[in-house]
Amino acid sequence: MPKYRYFAKNLKGEEKKGTREAKDLKDLASLLKKEGFLLISAREVDFKKPFTFSINFRKRVSLKEKLFFIRNFEVMVASGVSLPNALKVLSRQTKNRYFKKVLNEILEQVLKGESLSEAIKKYPKIFPEFFSSLILVGEKTGQLDKVLGILGDYLEKTHRLRSKVRGALMYPAVIIIAMIVMGIIMLIKVIPQLKETFTSLEIELPRTTLFIFNIGDILSKNIAIVIFLSLILCGGFVLALKSRRFKKSLGIFFLRIPFISSLVKKTNTAYCARTLSSLIAGGVPIVEALKISSKVVTNAYFQEVLENASEQIKKGKKLSEIFREYSDIYPPIFYEMLEVGEKTGKTSQILLKLAEFFEEEVTNVTENLSSIIEPVLLLLIGIVVGIFAISIIKPIYSMLGALQ
């Protein structure tokens, strides 16, 4: 169970600080309420990491920071704390300097008479359209605390899902990067020395050995040019990612890779289902909800499908019928269950169940992914090492044969 460092007050104005275990922030607020105290602010404490050092080199707010902001904000609004006071307390609480600055600017705008939804809309990199749309609905209906609860649940589940996917892909990424780095070091440092040795002995070298020696020569003699070209290539790739056509092609490419395809489909379906569920439950119109969801999913092909769905809904088509047309990426259970939700008027609840189902599927895929990728990586490493070994050992055998 996580531990929270909290600050609370009672009706007499007495303050209470400390740390306490609780299931989540709602549970912590409930425990303190039983003791007659109102939770003002709280943050999770990781006692395994007593010292942390961080510098904000760029303007960025992590998903985890936004989650704690929303959860604390929800508890304070539900407890009757005014928006300005809540924002003031939360801006003091955050350690991220950029986020603190943004919260203070939002506070100033709210004090000038702007609505919260209008104020946060000016910071789309921190609070995307998903946030402002839901908060606007909460302001109109007078259920801001309920909307913040929906947002908090959404961010919490999204954070868990992203962590699982990143964790699954981290192991193969580290192995591949380490293999490339070791290979480059070998080609730059070791291969040129071996070439000099073999050249001095005037041994006839196999084609594979000559090929490796030539690559080693190019890298060792033109290392600055190689680094420069690599940087240009990386820069070109980053610029290409801004192209909608390239992003779509890349998205389709990932959907065709064995094993990875399953993970991409299930992850994006989970994002789609949870986002739509949260927006519909919050009272956002379905057309707008689809447009917002298209910006949440990570695969460009999924984004295009949701944008098209938004246009087709305007023409009177049912959501289940639209998704049925894209059975290559959405499994039958998705649009069939959605059809049931439309008939019973429980679309939001069905989408929530589907999100939980696909999140569980992603968990299963990520747990099995390492066991699938590991033998593939070992085979790849074995092939590379084998080519190197044969290319180097074969001339040595030829040399020993000549000496006999």
Is residue 67 located within the same domain as residue 151? Answer: no
Report d(CA 319, CA 211) in Å as an integer.
57
3-class DSSP assignment, residue 53: coil
Residue 280 has pLDDT above 60, yes or no: yes
Is residue 265 located within the same domain as residue 394? Answer: yes
Place of tokens 């240009």: 232
Report d(CA 140, CA 322) in Å as an integer.
30
Is residue 243 located within the same domain as residue 377? Answer: yes
pTM above 0.75?
no
Is residue 161 located within the same domain as residue 238? Answer: yes
Cβ neighbours of residue 42 under 8 Å, at least 6 residues apart? 4, 5, 6, 7, 25, 28, 72, 75
| Residue 399 pLDDT level (bands cut at 50, 70, 90) | low
| Residue ending a domain, choose from 115, 142, 169 | 142
Residue 240's pLDDT is: 83
The sign one gets for the Cα dihedral 170, 171, 172, 174 is positive
| Residue 149 pLDDT level (bands cut at 50, 70, 90) | confident
Residue 57's pLDDT is: 42
Span 370-393, average pLDDT: 78
| Residue 401 pLDDT level (bands cut at 50, 70, 90) | low
Is residue 241 located within the same domain as residue 374? Answer: yes
Is residue 30 located within the same domain as residue 150? Answer: no
Report d(CA 165, CA 399) in Å as an integer.
51
Reported as a single tens digit per residue, the pLDDT across 215-254 is 888 887 887 887 888 889 888 888 887 887 888 888 888 8
Is residue 253 located within the same domain as residue 371? Answer: yes
Question: CB–CB of 62/33 below 8 Å?
Answer: no
Nearest CA among 275, 277, 280, 265 for reference residue 327: 265
Domain with 264 in it: what CATH number? 1.20.81.30
Is residue 128 located within the same domain as residue 186? Answer: no
| Domain, as residue range, for 117 | 3-142
Span 256-260, average pLDDT: 80
Is residue 185 located within the same domain as residue 58? Answer: no
Is residue 291 located within the same domain as residue 210? Answer: yes
Is residue 89 located within the same domain as residue 225? Answer: no
Is residue 157 located within the same domain as residue 124? Answer: no
| Residue ending a domain, choose from 142, 166, 198 | 142
Residue 49 has pLDDT above 50, yes or no: no
Residue 227's pLDDT is: 83
Quick one: tokens of 230? 């690599």
Span 124-150, average pLDDT: 85
Reported as a single tens digit per residue, the pLDDT across 51-60 is 444 444 456 8
- Provide the number of structural domains found in the chain: 2
| Residue ending a domain, choose from 107, 142, 177 | 142
